[in-house]
Amino acid sequence: MVKDYRFDLIGAYLAGNKDHPQIEMEKLGFNIINWEGVPIADCIIVRIDNAEEIKELPEYIDELNEPYFGFKEQEDVSSD
């Protein structure tokens, strides 16, 4: 199941996480298929395709209620 998440950069830093957001999310089990930085909001928006496998989220990662408008529907920018 594909879902979009918001990674709060400041919240992660204050929680002691200094890893790159993509590395941190992969450590947590997210299979990232697209991401976009949103500097004005100090966050990263990430699309994953294994949402059903994600059980718990740290306080600095939120599931979006609606699909992120910045991603095209079938776009996949994962590396081969």
Report the distance separating Cα 15 and Cα 24, nearest Å. 12
69 assigned to some structural domain = no
Query: Is 80 among the domain residues?
Result: no
φ, ψ of residue 27 to 5 degrees: the values are -60, -35
Tokens of 29: 């089990």
Look up residue 12 and give its two tokens: 């992660």
Residue 15 in domain:
yes
* Interatomic CA distance for residues 67 and 2, integer angstroms: 9
Number of domains in the chain: 1
| Structural domain includes residue 19 | yes
With respect to residue 72, please indicate whether it lies within any of the assigned structural domains: no
Residue 70 forms part of a structural domain = no
In a domain? residue 73: no
Task: Count CB-CB contacts under 10 A for residue 18.
Answer: 8
Domain enclosing residue 21, as ranges = 3-63
- pLDDT confidence bin for 70, thresholds 50/70/90: confident
Structure tokens that stand for 44 in this block: 């990263």
pLDDT tens profile 7-43? 999 999 999 999 999 899 999 889 999 989 999 999 9
